[in-house]
Structure 1
Amino acid sequence: MKQRLRKFRTVAALAVAWGVLAGGTAAGATRASADGGLTRTAPTHLARGVTYTQFRMLLPRGIVHGHLLTVDLSDPSVSVDLLHPAVVAARAPVSELADDRDAVGAVNGDFFDISEAQHPGAEVTGSSVGPAVASGRELKAAVPDGQRFGPTLPPGATTEDVLTVGYDHRARLDRLALRGTVRSHEGSWPLRGLNQYALPQGGIGAYTARWGAVSRVRAVCGTDTDRGAGCDTDTAEVTIRHGRVARITARPGAGVIQPGSVVLVGREQGARRLRTLHLGERVHLSHRLVGRLPGRLRCAVGGFPVLRHGRPADGLDNVAVTMRTSAGIADRGRTLYLMALDGEKGKHQTGLTVRELARLMALLGAREAMDLDGGGSSTFVTQGPYGEAEVRNHPTSGRERPVANAVGVFSGAGGLGEISEG
């Protein structure tokens, strides 16, 4: 039966009340405070291998209220996959993505291209920043570090950083780099992009039917160090159909890419190389995402590491406070935590800095953790008693923001429980 927390006038009263809800006594809240000020509700069983809890953490500036899925990946009935719209250059609400796949629970995923005001003529693509793998299929590669949307990367982090879950039922933090080649009679050139909204300077990128119909002009805008820089004019686009050059144009185009076709977009040196191709010429493409760790990937989502071996990563921001979404790993990859904060107004609630997020994920039990997109994107969904996806947190804008992708949890066994609403 759903319950509602009473409103309290002070942060201290709210913390004590949450301790009563979670532990049965105000003394329980005091004991929890000694362990980082963290209190939790009793876990609710959603499905085999998947539980849900709410938690609160007391900070001097207010209460951090969050939602947590704990996923037992060692259970053979449990799986995790990347949820995404039908094409890469598109967005959808997390609840819609979860409903489409009948996910037990889900949180929003990677940062994404959300604004192109500085690039007249370039469409907002909605495409994610980092690599994306879903159901074992490689959807896209990472944009250059300087082209990303989101907070500044901490030292040593890159847009190639990912959370992965393999077919071995283990979660890991890894990096996925694109390795690809364009070969023709004119030469052999490196492929520097795959279905990504921004290409590295001098590079050639491939766009497949998975990209969608959105204009590819954004791919040649900005530089490797400045997302807001202008768009290149030294460009070329070549359509390869069934392995042969079918069309050559000077500027990137738009429209659906048909199955069996690949569109190559080049800028600067990459454009000059593409212009050496001729209509009807045979062109061979190869590409794959290569990780540092072994094993076949079921899914991968971009973000950046905030916790390594139980300790916060170096150089994490400790100033900007906002709502956060995170994925954590414990038990050598056998346990996955999916967390999103609550943005409800008027309850003395606060967000977290990135460094505080790392501390929170450690308190929740993670040894490794990744920061996913936050702010207005932070969304936490579980499956309701009638099979529909329900948003459990309160997005900061009062409604779900369409996002590029999400991390979804699945279970082959039922056992949905009813969740108390905080």
Structure 2
Amino acid sequence: MPRRLIAGLAALSLLATAAPAPANADSVSSRLPTASFPLGQSGAVTQKQKAVAAGIDLFTVVHGKPTDGYTVSLLIKGKDYGTQAEAEAAAETARGAGFEAGVQQFTRPGVADYPEGSGYTARIGLWTLKERSKAEKVVKQLKDANIKAKVDYLGDDGLQTTGPWNLRVLTVDPRAFRGSYHASIGANVAKRETPSSMAKRVGAIAAVNGGFFNIHTAKNLRGEPVGISVVDGRLLSEAVVGRSALILKGRTARITEVKSTTTATSSDGEKSTINGVNRMAGPDELVLYTEEYGAKTPADDGAEAVLDDKGQVLELRPAGGKVPRGTRVLHGTGIMADWVWSHAWEKWSLKVTTKVTDLRTGKGIPLTPETSIIGGGVGLVRNGHERITAKADGHANVNMILRRHPRTMAGVTKSGKLILATVDGRKPGVTVGASMVEAAQLMLWLGARQAINLDGGGSSAMVVKGKVVNHPSDGAERGVGDALLILP
């Protein structure tokens, strides 16, 4: 058995280490660094470059070699880790069934807004990359003994690895590029769509998947962005206060944290906060549905006011109906249904005002027709330094911080160049993906002064001139909630 594989499990408590990311001379539009790759063992990077259009370059970056193999992890309350007592109990159960199980501690690194933590895994055996079938046989034997387990590839752990890594990097220099950046929700908010389909519809030069979408709502509504979405100046999904976002206008891009505020003011002067935009309503909420929603409003015993583009109430109706073209529907539940019945009489007006605020500057972001905003999954880099905001962005856990996954990242250099990168993963022996810390290190290596993580996993996709140029981990491109498009 390779020494690296044995050392990999024995050193399970060690964090992944990487060379310090060198300051890049902001030259990403013409070249990438060729040495000092920040992950794995030191050595030269294999790199190919292709000119896509004026100011746009596509790079393929490959580094590292496979030395990790497989183990079997015992499941603890459905997860592959738990407390020390839980891991010891799981291992003891497996030993009682005749299996040689051990317990290892691992360390989840601390990030900017979430402290370091520890966890424990109970595992059985070590096998090389070519011996997965042996690990699968053990999982079957454990199942026969009523013990839940799974095969784990050690390269996914987020600890020390030699890779390999396979990246696609798209760089856009606004000094030479003459097009513009846009966000797209595809056909509508409710429906998921592939980035290549969104790109084809408008003739985009390139595209990447956008932010996370809601997989915990009704199946026909799962295109709904989780967090802010602004398309051509229209707020289509409200912000989660303080989470990271990518602001696009013309051929400029910047990263900050945002909040959004939407209010309704009736003809009688009564004012109320609108809690959400284009999503399912909770108890005692006002939710605004725009014509981009693409589905009927929920029939939840609430009340609705159908508004024209000037805010005049065209119809006051029970909840559950279409959003006619050129209208918006204000939907109230519980006590807010009473508010709608009382303050949205037909032929009255409801003035709906929306404001998006940059929390770094405290200033409003003008929602012009040229403005788009995509919500990021996690902040990675701020002012040229690693700053991972896992807790603020809703991803403070072992799976998202420590484990390696396919990732899509966006960054901006000091001079305003846009960097879009995908790192493929979940392909043992081919490419291992990246942890959050590794994602930040990669973006620093590429020269980003500001950077965020977008949606990842099977959603990670980069499209250039109609072709998916990375290798999505699902085996095919996945439908997503929104995408970033680069238009000519």
TM-score over 0.5 (shorter chain): yes
- Cα deviation 1:129-175 (Å, max 9, x = unaligned): 122223x3214132657xxxxxxxxxxx52xx310122473433342
Q: Is 1:126 aligned to 2:223, yes or no? A: yes
State which structure, 1 or 2, has the greater radius of gyration over its C-alpha atoms: 2
Cα distance in 2, alignment partners of residues 170 and 394 from structure 1:
26
Q: Structure 1 residue 403 and structure 2 residue 480: aligned?
A: yes
The alignment of Structure 1 onto Structure 2 pairs a total of residues equal to: 341
Matches within 5 A, 1:86-125: 86-116=187-217, 123-125=220-222
Give SS of 2:422's match.
strand
CA RMSD of aligned residues (A): 3.0
Change (3 A) 1:214 1:402: farther
- In 2, the alpha carbon distance for the partners of 1:374 and 1:78 equals 26
Whether the aligned pair in 1 keeps the contact of 2:302 and 2:334 (CA below 8 Å) is yes
Is residue 413–residue 447 contact of structure 2 (8 Å, CA) maintained in 1?
yes
Deviations 1:197-242 (A, max 9, x none): 245664312112121124436xxxxxxxxxxxxxxx6743333357
Distance 2:53 2:37 in 1: 32
Equivalent position of 1:330 in the other structure: 413
Query: Which of residues 25, 47, 60 in structure 2 aligns to 1:41?
Result: 47
Aligned-partner Cα distance in 2 for 1:193–1:168: 29
- For residues 263 and 226 of structure 2, the distance between their equivalents in structure 1, rounded to whole angstroms, comes to 19
TM-score, normalised to structure 1, is: 0.72
Deviation at 1:99, TM superposition (A): 1.2
Q: Select the structure with the greater relative contact order (CA < 8 A; seq sep ≥ 6).
A: 1
**Deviation of the 1:72 alpha carbon:** 0.8
CA distance in 1, matches of 2:269, 2:220: 32
Q: Which amino acid aligns with 1:203?
A: E
Query: Structure 2: which 5+ residue stretches go unaligned?
Result: 6-33, 65-159, 391-399
Structure 2 vs 1, CA of residues 143 and 56 (structure 1 numbering), >3 Å: closer, same or farther? same
Look up the SS of the partner of 1:96 in the other structure. Answer: helix
Instruction: Name the counterpart of 1:141.
Output: 237
Would you say the 8 A contact 2:191–2:220 is kept in 1? Answer: no
> Per-residue deviation at 1:55?
1.4
Partners in 2 of 1:63 and 1:168 — Cα distance?
34
Q: Note if 1:298 corresponds to 2:371.
A: yes
2:379·2:388 contact (CA, 8 Å) conserved in 1? no
Give the deviation of 1:75 after TM superposition: 3.1
Q: Paired residue for 2:384?
A: 310
Query: Is contact 2:191–2:221 with CA below 8 Å preserved after alignment?
Result: no
Q: How does 1:59-98 map to 2 (within 5 A)?
A: 60=161, 62-75=163-176, 77-98=178-199
Matched to 1:92, the amino acid is: E
Unmatched runs of 5 consecutive residues or more in structure 1: 1-9, 12-30, 146-156, 218-232, 384-388, 412-422
Q: Assess if the C-alpha contact under 8 Å between 1:165 and 1:299 holds in 2.
A: yes
Letter in 1 for 2:249: G
- CA distance in structure 1 between the partners assigned to 2:289 and 2:37 by the alignment: 53
TM-score scaled by length of structure 2: 0.63
Alignment of 1:141-290 (within 5 A): 141-142=237-238, 144=240, 157-158=242-243, 161-167=244-250, 169-185=252-268, 187-195=270-278, 197-199=279-281, 202-216=284-298, 235-241=302-308, 243-249=312-318, 252-255=319-322, 257-277=323-343, 279-290=345-356
User: Quick one: distance in 2 between partners of 1:174 and 1:314?
Assistant: 13
